[in-house]
Structures are given as structure tokens and as C-alpha cells.
Amino acid sequence: MKILIVEDSRSNLQVLTQYARGFGAEVVPAENGEAAVAAFAATSPDLVLLDVVLPDIDGFEVARRIRGMESEGGWTPIIFLSSLGKDEDIEQGIMAGGDDYLHKPVSEVVLGAKVRAMERLIQMRGSLVKLASELDVANQELQRLSASDGLTGIANRRYFDEHIAREWRRARRNASSVALMMCDVDHFKLFNDTYGHQAGDECLRRVAGAIATSLDRGSDLAARYGGEEFVVVLCETAIGGALIVAEKIRHAVHALNIPHSASSLGRVTLSIGLAAAVPELDDPSDNLIAMADKALYDAKHNGRDRVCRAPRPSVG
């Protein structure tokens, strides 16, 4: 344990140092307030024994500065040392950031008991901080899992619903365009019937990966909409830019070169319906989804393996 001892009387400092070393502690001495603040910053002690009356700034001000220097969530016990024993003095010390108060002259036995008590508090706090960190990591993982599709690893339908609603509101505030793609694996039922469900699952995983890696911006979202359908949300993107991304996705799926003997195209392909809109006051995001879904229907019925855009440039 490292103890910062702040005491302007050299004789008292020597006695306290002897006591602390007798407890097995490493001692960092300081004879005035400014030196104490500098020593705290330089050494990061585990405990501070702080005289109230100092030749420059008083111990209360030192305590306030120490508390101001601590990192978020950090805590170093401060025990004030003083011959002042009024209730008001003790209250002032606690308000300044102190944790305990010892009257001078300091008893070695009492100081030892206080140091051991603070050691236990430090250990308990360390355990709680570790537990809180572990819980935070676990909660983040739960949030990630709750937002992810179990098969493909990309976002799931629930997360998509939340995301499109949030981005639609933002686009309405900013008068910006949101683009949406509905993507469907062509002849997927025939693929499953021909190659089996295990191969079908692997196919969906690879297609999802191709879609996700085709998106360049962190704000873009790829999600599994259901079955063999996927959805892509592009924020602040007009129809022209979205068409470029959609073709990039279609070619990425082509490049997977997954054989599909039951398809006239001979490989796994993707049909994409695309819509983009700047939200008006009363427009729900469902309108944009319906437009993209209609465009997907057109892509499927016009030969598949293509991108079709919605016939209207905006919702209204």
C-alpha cells in the first residue's frame, strides 16, 4: 500500500512515516499543500493522510484538488489529521472530500486500525468496480446478441424496425433522403430442395456477408428481414447513390459463385427492390418499405438477378 503523508511538522511527519512503514506501507512524504497535490498526481497513492493546517493552502483545499484530479469512477481515501475537534471542523473536512478524521497526536494503534479499514474498503471497491465492468461487458454482449440474427450474424428484424424508425425521424428533421433496399435470394426454395437445409443456411450466411461487406459507411445497415429476404438502409442517400450500392451488392453475390443447378442462372443471385425518399410531415417509414417491396416484386417478375427502383422518387 502506498500512503501519501502530508504534514508540515517534520517531527510529526517522521513519526507518521515510522508508523506507516511499520504497517508495511510505502510512504510518499509532503510538507505543504502544493507539494501534496504534485505528489498525488505523480505517484497515485492508495491512501492520503492529510494535515488540515499547512503553511500554504490548507488541507481542505488540498482534498478538493485531489478529488478534482481523480479519474471518473476513481477514489482515494483521505484521512484528515488535526488537533481541531469541533463538529463543524469535521463536517468541513467531509464536505471537502475527506473520508475520516483523526485527532492529533495520532495513536499508532488507532492509525493502524484506520489504515486496515481503508484497505478493506479499497479491496471491496476494487471488487465492485471489476464486477461492474464485467456486468457492463455482459450487457453489451446481450445487447449485441439481441440485435443480431442468429444464423447470419447481421442485424435482425427487430433491430431493423427500430433503426428505420429512428433514421426516418432524423431524416425528417434534417430534410435528408433515406434509401431502402429489399433483397431476396432468387429461387431459394429450389436451392433448399436441391442441396438441403444445411447448404441453404450456409448460402444465407455467405449472402449476408456479401451484402454487409459491400457497405462502406458505419451508418449503413444490413439486416435479415426474414427467411431469404434481407434489407439495407442507407441514410442521407438519394436514389442515384443507392443504385450504385445496390449494383455493388448484386455483383458481390454473383462473385460468391455459389452453384444453383435449379436456377436458370446457374448460380445464386439476388433480386433487389430500391426506394428512396425525403420524409414529409405525416409520412410513416412503412410507406418507404412498401415502395421498396413493390420494386422487389418488379425485379422478381422481370427476370430476377436485377435491381429495380420504385416508380416514384418520394413518399407523399
Sign of CA dihedral 277, 280, 285, 291: negative
3-state secondary structure of 270: strand
Catalytic residue among 26, 228, 229, 280: 228
User: Cβ(180)–Cβ(231) under 8 Å?
Assistant: yes
> Residue 1's CB: how many other CB atoms inside 10 A?
16
User: Cβ(266)–Cβ(259) under 8 Å?
Assistant: yes
Residues sharing a CB contact under 8 Å with residue 195, sequence separation 6 or more, in sequence order: 203
CA distance 121 to 78: 12
Location of C-alpha cell 435479415: 224
User: Cβ(22)–Cβ(111) under 8 Å?
Assistant: no
Of 222, 220, 203, the residue nearest 269 (C-alpha): 203
Strands 178-185 and 229-235: antiparallel
The strand ranges marked E within 35-103 are 47-51, 78-82, 100-103
Active site residue 228: yes
Q: Which residues are catalytic?
A: 228
